[in-house]
């Protein structure tokens, strides 16, 4: 009897398919039933050849060998995956295997993974496509009943191949050309550039230049406290005749003239006035369902998560728990034939409370879901035309719950992400929320003060939110006398007026949530979700790749995280600056890169040929190489005016590629030693900062300097007249104003539990730690030799750039260790997973999972799951299932780190 060979992207998916279809037995590297043989990849098993593998002439990085434009692009097995390919090849050669089923993830990358295997192994078997939106057993069985002909996905396969080859062409040529021209003597790393990575960096750089160039301006605000029938309220002075103009920092409530501001305070102090107000209802529609990018934005805004951390949790909820649909989607709608499924999901949630489903720590998180689901079933669904929209569906639909409740209580990231998606799903079908917005204007003499408030009158979809939700909050004003007409006003008394001195601030640095939005809309500042939906097809990257793009920028030294914000490094700023000056603007242009993404979409949908876009990419690579080869350093800043006189020789100081210096004097006996390096203590020195330094001999307080351990701090630049270069004078740490590397969190005043070392002591929260209350008091007040000493317990709330949630801290306190936690980030920017263990000194250490044996047949999946367990003994038996020789867990304390091995330099594209 002939069988179909099913190839999945991960071992965990192979196990799910076998479980859903039934009748499978474990063999040595695959699962088999009467109808199917199921085996798996582990992500990409193959990669494009390196240039030096195409031709030895490319082994040395030289400009004369560029551009590299191969006639054909060949694949090779990735390191450690040859055995997996041999297993698939052996199964392809079986006489009873008659056709192939592509069961890789339903999307561009999943299609590429399968096509690479098929091409490399030379398979001629017919192909059918399994296209899954959900990983429930019912969805898998339904998918196998509706297998699609492989020919239907030819456009998707061509787009996937174009994407991979385009990234290789641009990445290899741009990286080699820029590295040869820009790398200094003390630098070892490559100047990596790519079709998607570099325009994303440009978004950060443009905002950073704006931040660095900002010069604070003093302004004043006038506030008043008013009394009406024994109740007080506050108001802020404003100019009703204000019109926006050329001054971008002007606002209707800002006064840039201190004398005028003081005159207003004197004019209204203690004077009677009148108040009148308007009340208007305001409808607030529920937000659309989540796609991956909007989910990542919301998780960053709410929890401070990175895009990668959100994707990891969503992937676990999809593959591991089967409680969410496919997460790597760019759609925020559902297909029109999904109404019955939505009804089934609501039924499942409405029954969950009656069945006693409970959540973590005895709470009932599904109780809220049950109430909202029953309300929808009884009252009907709102917003159906907007949600069920076939035109808004691409390869996948929105991320929604499958209706399957987790078999055991979720914890940590998975619980929080699932809750976020379920509440968004339930809220989307509710009516709008209705607010009453109040604007009160109080007039004293000829001056007016404004007070605003809002009250939620009809909760609508907001009834689904948690009470602790950080959405729009209600505010209140004491009512004016009943019957007061809008035009007549009522009498009030001015109890107090105050002058508030402030300074203008630059636009905030871009958060990861904001960057994802800009990437989705090709760098355009679009806050309107409906308009953004129209333009999202011209975005930078895809929903599935944007998280990795951001992590690449950090790993390659182009950007760093500062809490929720991202800041480009001096290296990142220099790269974008030079690309623009040598007229390789296209490589750093979000809009043009968005157009290239649109061309890939055109290939996928058959509107553009593969050959056309490949020719365009080769031309693009030639252009980059020609401009990078041809520029002269002395021409880069020719048109820039001098910044000021040199403090040593008084000649004009000019900008150059790596530093600022005075203009050379050909007749001088020696060269002036003044050098102001653009990269000073980890901070980029912009022209405005250097101008102030030359003029005043020192700068104001500047942010963004970095210590050797990476911790950011604030400081003042002063000119060192011995070395004739600027030195940084750090701001005093005792003042508590230095920039913090770790984020601060809200504090729950309720103690977590008793300290694990001292029964009479409690563990409590601080903004940055879970800490023994005695230890916290010692830190605040100084150690008291007469009182009880602290046990020393402390657990940071941020460990390796990952938040440790209160729930995870409770598990740690109860058992001295957490469960396996994912999405830590090493000092080198690499993700890792580990268990936190409590040490005797009250600090934490790391315990790592055992490494998979190299070259073994049982490769572990990239989501951390082991390969499928055997249903019956086959060749290899129990030993193979156990993964061979056992490996003891590696334990490392937080204070000790292994040496980093020197990595082989490779010219990897994006």
Catalytic residues: 326
Query: How many CB atoms lie under 10 A from the CB of residue 673?
Result: 12
Cα 671 vs. chain centroid, distance in angstroms?
A: 47
The helix or strand, by DSSP H or E, that contains position 726, with its residue range, turns out to be strand 725-730
Unique residue bearing structure tokens 């699962």 = 31
Nearest CA among 544, 516, 548, 547 for reference residue 532: 516
In this structure, what are the phi and psi dihedrals at residue 128, rounded to the nearest 5 degrees? -120, 155
Q: Taking the CA atoms of 260, 265, 267 and 273 in sequence, report the sign of the dihedral they define.
A: positive
Residues in Cβ contact with 678 at an 8 Å cutoff, skipping those fewer than 6 apart? 570, 573, 574, 658, 659, 660, 684, 685
SS3 of 545-589: CHHHHHHHHHHCCCEEEECCEEEECHHHHHHHHHHHHCCCHHHHC
Residues in the chain: 910
How many helical (H) and strand (E) elements, i.e. helices and strands, does the chain have? 24, 36
Contact by Cβ (8 Å): 446, 240: no
Find, among 196, 203, 908, 205, the residue nearest to 617 by Cα. 196
- Torsion, Cα 734 740 745 750, to 10 degrees, reads -30
- Rounded Cα distance, 800 and 832, in Å: 10
Strands 644-645 vs 565-568: parallel, antiparallel or unpaired:
unpaired
Q: In DSSP terms, which residues pair with 727 in a beta bridge? A: 718
* Other beta carbons less than 10 A from residue 281's beta carbon: 10
Dihedral sign computed on CA atoms, order 87, 92, 96, 99: positive
Strands 559-562 and 490-503: unpaired
- Residue 15 host element (H or E): helix 11-21
CB atoms within 10 A of CB 786: 4
First to last CA, the chain: 45
3-state SS class at 64: helix
Tell me the sheet residues that pair with 799.
802
- The torsion defined by the Cα of 455, 459, 463 and 468, in degrees rounded to 10, comes to -10
- Sign (positive or negative) of CA dihedral 295, 299, 305, 311: negative
Tell me if 428 sits within 8 A of 302, measured CB to CB.
no
Q: From residue 249, give the alpha-carbon distance in Å to each of 219, 243, 505, 689.
A: 10, 12, 9, 20
Instruction: Give the tokens for residue 34.
Output: 């009467």
Q: How far from the centroid of its chain's Cα atoms is residue 832's Cα?
A: 17
Q: How far apart are CA 476 and CA 276, in angstroms?
A: 16
Helix (H) or strand (E) holding 5: strand 3-8
Percentages of the chain per state (helix, strand, coil), in multiples of 5 = 35, 20, 40
Q: How far apart are CA 110 and CA 114, in angstroms?
A: 7
d(CA 515, CA 496): 43
For residue 839, the number of C-alpha atoms closer than 13 Å in the C-beta half-sphere is 14
Continuous H helices in 131-244: 137-145, 154-182, 197-213
């Amino acid at each position: 009897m002939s069988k179909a060979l099913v190839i999945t992207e991960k071992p965990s998916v192979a196990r799910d398919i076998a479980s859903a279809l039934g009748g499978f037995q474990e063999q040595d590297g695959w699962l088999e039933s009467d109808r199917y043989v199921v085996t798996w990849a582990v992500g990409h098993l193959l990669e494009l050849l390196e240039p030096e593998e195409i031709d030895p002439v490319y082994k040395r990085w030289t400009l004369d060998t560029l551009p590299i434009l191969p006639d054909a692009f060949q694949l090779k097995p990735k390191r450690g995956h040859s055995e997996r390919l041999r297993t698939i090849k052996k199964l392809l050669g079986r006489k009873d295997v008659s056709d192939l089923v592509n069961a890789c993830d339903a999307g561009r990358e999943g299609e590429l993974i399968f096509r690479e295997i098929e091409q490399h192994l030379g398979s001629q078997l017919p192909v059918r496509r399994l296209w899954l939106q959900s990983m429930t057993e019912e969805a898998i069985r339904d998918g196998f009943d509706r297998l699609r002909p492989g020919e239907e996905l030819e456009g998707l396969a061509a787009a996937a191949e174009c994407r991979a080859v385009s990234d290789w062409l641009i990445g290899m040529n741009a990286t080699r050309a820029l590295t040869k021209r820009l790398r200094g003597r003390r630098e070892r790393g490559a100047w990596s550039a790519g079709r998607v990575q570099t325009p994303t960096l440009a978004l950060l750089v443009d905002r950073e230049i704006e931040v660095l160039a900002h010069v604070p301006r003093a302004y004043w605000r006038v506030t008043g406290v008013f009394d009406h029938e024994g109740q007080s309220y506050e108001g802020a002075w404003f100019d009703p005749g204000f019109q926006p103009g050329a001054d971008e920092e002007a606002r209707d409530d800002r006064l840039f003239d201190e004398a005028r501001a003081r005159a207003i305070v004197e004019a209204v102090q203690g004077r009677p006035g009148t108040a009148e107000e308007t009340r208007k209802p305001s409808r607030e529609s529920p937000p659309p369902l989540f796609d991956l990018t909007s989910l990542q934005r919301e998780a960053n805004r709410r929890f401070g998560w990175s895009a990668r951390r959100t994707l990891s949790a969503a992937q676990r909820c999809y593959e591991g728990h089967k409680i969410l649909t496919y997460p790597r989607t760019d759609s925020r709608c559902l297909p029109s034939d999904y109404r019955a499924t939505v009804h089934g999901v609501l039924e499942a949630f409405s029954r969950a409370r009656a069945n006693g489903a409970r959540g973590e720590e005895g709470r009932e998180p599904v109780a809220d879901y049950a109430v909202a689901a029953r309300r929808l079933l009884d009252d009907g669904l709102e917003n159906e035309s907007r949600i069920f929209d076939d035109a808004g569906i691409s390869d996948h639909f929105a991320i929604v719950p499958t209706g399957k409740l987790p078999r055991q209580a979720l914890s940590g990231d998975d619980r929080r992400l699932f809750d976020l998606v379920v509440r968004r799903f339930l809220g989307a079908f509710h009516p709008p929320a209705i607010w009453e917005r109040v604007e009160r204007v109080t007039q004293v003499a000829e001056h007016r003060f404004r007070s605003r408030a809002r009250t939620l009158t009809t909760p609508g979809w907001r009834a689904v939110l948690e009470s602790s939700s950080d959405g729009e909050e209600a505010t209140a004003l004491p009512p004016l006398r009943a019957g007061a007409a809008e035009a007549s006003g009522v009498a009030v008394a001015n109890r107090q007026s105050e002058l508030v001195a402030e300074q203008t601030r630059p636009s905030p640095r871009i958060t990861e949530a904001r960057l994802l939005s800009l990437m989705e809309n090709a760098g355009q500042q679009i806050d309107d979700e409906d308009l953004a939906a129209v333009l999202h097809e011209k975005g930078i990257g895809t929903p599935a790749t944007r998280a990795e793009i951001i992590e690449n920028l950090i790993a390659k030294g182009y950007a760093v995280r500062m809490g929720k914000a991202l800041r480009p490094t001096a290296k990142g700023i220099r790269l974008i600056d030079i690309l623009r000056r040598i007229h390789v603007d296209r490589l750093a242009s979000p809009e043009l890169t968005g157009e290239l993404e649109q061309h890939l979409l055109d290939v996928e949908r058959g509107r553009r040929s593969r050959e056309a876009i490949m020719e365009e990419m080769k031309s693009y690579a030639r252009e980059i190489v020609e401009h990078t080869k041809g520029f002269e350093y002395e021409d880069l800043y020719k048109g820039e005016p001098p910044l000021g006189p040199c403090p040593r020789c008084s000649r004009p100081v000019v900008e150059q590629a790596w530093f600022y210096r005075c203009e050379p004097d050909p007749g001088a006996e020696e060269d002036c030693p003044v050098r102001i390096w653009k990269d000073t203590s980890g901070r980029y020195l912009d022209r405005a900062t250097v101008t102030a330094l030359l003029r005043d001999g020192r700068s104001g307080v500047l942010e963004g300097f970095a210590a050797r351990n990476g911790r950011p701090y604030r400081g003042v630049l002063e000119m060192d007249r011995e070395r004739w270069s600027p030195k940084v004078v750090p701001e005093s740490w005792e003042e508590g104003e230095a920039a913090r590397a770790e984020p601060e969190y809200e504090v729950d005043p309720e103690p977590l539990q008793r300290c694990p070392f001292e029964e009479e002591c409690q563990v409590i929260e601080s903004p940055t730690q879970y800490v023994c209350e005695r230890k916290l008091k010692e830190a605040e007040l100084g150690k008291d030799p007469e009182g009880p000493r602290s046990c020393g317990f402390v657990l940071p709330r941020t460990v390796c750039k990952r938040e440790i949630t209160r729930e995870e801290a409770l598990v740690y306190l109860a058992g001295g260790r957490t469960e396996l936690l994912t999405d830590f980030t090493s000092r080198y920017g690499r993700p890792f997973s580990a268990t936190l263990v409590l040490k005797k000194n009250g600090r934490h250490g790391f315990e790592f999972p055992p490494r998979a044996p190299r070259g073994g047949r049982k490769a572990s999946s990239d989501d951390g799951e082991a390969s499928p367990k055997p249903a019956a003994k086959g060749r290899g038996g129990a030993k193979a299932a156990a993964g061979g020789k056992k490996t003891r867990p590696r334990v490392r304390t937080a204070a000790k780190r292994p040496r980093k091995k020197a990595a082989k330099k490779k010219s990897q594209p994006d």
